[in-house]
């Protein structure tokens, strides 16, 4: 019987706990641990109510690898699913090696003091993980995660060479609050205020944050939204592992209201990540801001509308130009009805469970540190359809692809 340890009891951790509990034949024993045990206990009670399954809970400070390794050994887990924060990736990986178990996360490591999104730190561990015979799967959320698998699937089944990749993440949901972020506010705001980088002709090109945008009409009546080009971490691994890609860009939708609030918060210094002294105490403005913003885990109750996340991919097949759009649409209210969370946590938590399932079933499990596109996409794609994130694809003309005319 497989035993797993989940670390992180936020919006995503709650979805992963529910979804693992719904697949008992793969996830035999589940322990949910986090810095605040009461949050784990509250999620365990919800899981019991919805699925009838008991999950164990524990307190852990995942910044401490010795304490984390001790907990891993105590639970007897063979895999740790890390859905704490990107700051904990390296210490949890260290703990996994010490305890001799496998590892999965949904976001690349970030140092706390600089908003720097890159795989370098985790890729540098490749030799250690190879030597230990343990397997680490990086970025098994939606983006990164499903978007990487969509790209690998397109390459396997539709293209001889991929030339352009545009990942488009639209959240057409409305939570009814003046301002809130859909996942951890600190991580979210660090990401959207960072310099934009996209891949063009063999190098990353830097542009000002949010400086390029356009309208995008989602298929199936989800609506038309303004999407902004920004940097996202899957671009780094995808252009490395699929070297025929000439241009890769990532786009995300933002409402005028979100941008208005963000601009003010930036202008007044509330998004700073360097410490300031207030009443003799050092505080980090962005961390203080997180404490006063709505908890993303609580947004499910009020959020209505849909997400639409997918890839526009062009390239050649049998010597001819070809373009496709592959996407998933997810309904916030349906997610809430199923597991008590909004669609952003859901679209991250379900792929974390599916990635863990591939590892535990031995389909995606080789020693070393791997990104999602480095594995055969088919079993993961099949599981998306079974476990709540069905996908579709449509063929586009090159003109439609160039203008993102997918609907
Ligand atoms: P939350 O802030 O809601 O939850 C984070 C959890 O981690 C909290 O329970 C927190 O505990 C816990 N935690 C923080 N520090 C520690 C620590 N030192 N030791 C133990 N536990 C700790 O975040 P989300 O659920 O929104 O996001 C979780 C992860 O998912 C993040 O890494 C995020 O970047 C990633 N993500 C990935 C996406 C993708 O598509 N790939 C999309 C969205 C998110 P406490 O309650 O005590 O603070």
State the average pLDDT over residues 6-28. Answer: 97
Is there a contact between 311 and 165 (Cβ–Cβ < 8 Å)? yes
Residue 266 has pLDDT above 80, yes or no: yes
Is there a contact between 328 and 351 (Cβ–Cβ < 8 Å)? no
Please give the model's pTM, rounded to 2 decimal places: 0.96
Is there a contact between 61 and 37 (Cβ–Cβ < 8 Å)? no
Report the pLDDT value the prediction gives residue 67, as an integer from 0 to 100: 98
Residue 114 has pLDDT above 80, yes or no: no
- Ligand 1: which atom is nearest the Cα of residue 61? 19
Query: Phi and psi dihedrals of 288, rounded to 5?
Result: -65, -40
295 C-alpha vs ligand 1 centroid, how far in Å? Answer: 12
Report the pLDDT value the prediction gives residue 220, as an integer from 0 to 100: 95
Residue nearest to atom 11 of ligand 1 (CA): 35
State the average pLDDT over residues 217-242. Answer: 97
Query: Which ipTM was obtained for this model?
Result: 0.99
**Pocket of ligand 1 from Cβ distances under 6 Å:** 7-13, 34-36, 39, 60-63, 83-86, 88, 106-107, 141-145, 183-184, 187, 296-297, 348
Distance between CA atoms of residues 249 and 198, nearest Å: 5
Reply yes or no on domain 146-339+390-402 having CATH 3.30.360.10. Answer: yes
172 C-alpha vs ligand 1 centroid, how far in Å? Answer: 23
- Ligand 1: which atom is nearest the Cα of residue 140? 41
State the average pLDDT over residues 291-313. Answer: 93
pLDDT range class, residue 8, cuts 50, 70, 90? very high
State the average pLDDT over residues 9-23. Answer: 97
State the average pLDDT over residues 33-40. Answer: 98
- Ligand 1: which atom is nearest the Cα of residue 144? 41
Distance between CA atoms of residues 172 and 348, nearest Å: 16
The ranges of the chain annotated as CATH 3.40.50.720 are 3-138
State the average pLDDT over residues 372-398. Answer: 98
Task: Give pLDDT tens digits for 154-203.
Answer: 999 999 999 999 999 999 999 999 999 988 888 889 888 899 999 999 99
Please state the CATH superfamily assignment of the domain spanning residues 3-138 in this structure. NAD(P)-binding Rossmann-like Domain (3.40.50.720)
Task: Give pLDDT tens digits for 137-150.
Answer: 999 999 999 999 99
109 C-alpha vs ligand 1 centroid, how far in Å? Answer: 12
Tokens standing for residue 100:
């001799």
Query: Phi and psi dihedrals of 351, rounded to 5?
Result: -65, -30
The ranges of the chain annotated as CATH 3.30.360.10 are 146-339+390-402
Q: What is the mean pLDDT of the chain?
A: 96
Report the pLDDT value the prediction gives residue 298, as an integer from 0 to 100: 83
Report the pLDDT value the prediction gives residue 186, as an integer from 0 to 100: 86
């Amino acid at each position: 019987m497989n035993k797993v340890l989940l670390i992180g009891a936020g919006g995503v951790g709650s979805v992963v706990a529910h979804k693992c509990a719904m697949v008992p034949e793969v996830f035999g024993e589940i322990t949910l641990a986090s810095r605040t045990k009461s949050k784990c206990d509250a999620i365990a009670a919800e899981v019991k109510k919805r699925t009838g399954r008991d999950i164990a809970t524990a307190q852990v400070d995942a910044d401490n690898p010795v304490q984390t390794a001790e907990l891993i050994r105590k639970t007897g887990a063979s895999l740790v699913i890390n859905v704490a924060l990107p700051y904990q990736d390296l210490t949890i990986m260290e703990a996994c090696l010490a305890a001799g178990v496998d590892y999965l996360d949904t976001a690349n490591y970030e140092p706390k003091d600089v908003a720097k999104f890159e795989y370098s730190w985790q890729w540098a561990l490749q030799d250690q993980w190879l030597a230990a015979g343990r397997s680490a799967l990086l970025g098994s959320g939606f983006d990164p995660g499903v978007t990487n698998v969509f790209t690998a699937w397109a390459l396997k089944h539709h293209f001889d060479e991929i030339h352009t990749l545009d990942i488009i993440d639209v959240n057409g949901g409305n939570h009814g609050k003046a301002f809130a972020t859909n996942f951890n506010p600190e991580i979210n705001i660090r990401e959207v205020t960072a310099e934009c980088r996209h891949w063009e002709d063999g190098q990353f090109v830097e542009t000002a944050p949010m400086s390029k945008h356009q309208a995008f009409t989602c298929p199936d009546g989800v609506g038309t939204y303004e999407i902004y080009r920004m940097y996202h971490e899957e671009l780094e691994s995808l252009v490395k592992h699929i070297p025929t890609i000439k241009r890769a860009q990532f786009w995300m939708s933002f409402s005028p209201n979100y941008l208005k609030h963000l601009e003010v918060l930036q202008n007044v210094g509330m998004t700073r990540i360097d410490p300031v002294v207030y009443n003799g105490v050092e505080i980090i403005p962005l961390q203080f801001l997180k404490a006063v913003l709505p908890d993303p885990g609580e947004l499910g109750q009020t959020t209505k509308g849909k997400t639409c996340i997918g890839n526009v991919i062009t390239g050649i097949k049998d010597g001819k130009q070809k373009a496709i759009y592959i996407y998933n649409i997810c309904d916030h209210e349906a997610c809430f009805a199923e597991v008590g969370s909004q669609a952003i946590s859901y679209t991250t938590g379900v792929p974390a469970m599916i990635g863990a399932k591939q590892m535990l079933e031995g389909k995606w499990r080789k020693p070393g540190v791997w990104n999602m596109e480095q594995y055969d996409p088919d079993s993961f794609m099949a599981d998306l359809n079974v476990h709540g994130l069905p996908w579709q694809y449509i063929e586009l003309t090159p003109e439609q692809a160039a203008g993102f005319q997918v609907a």
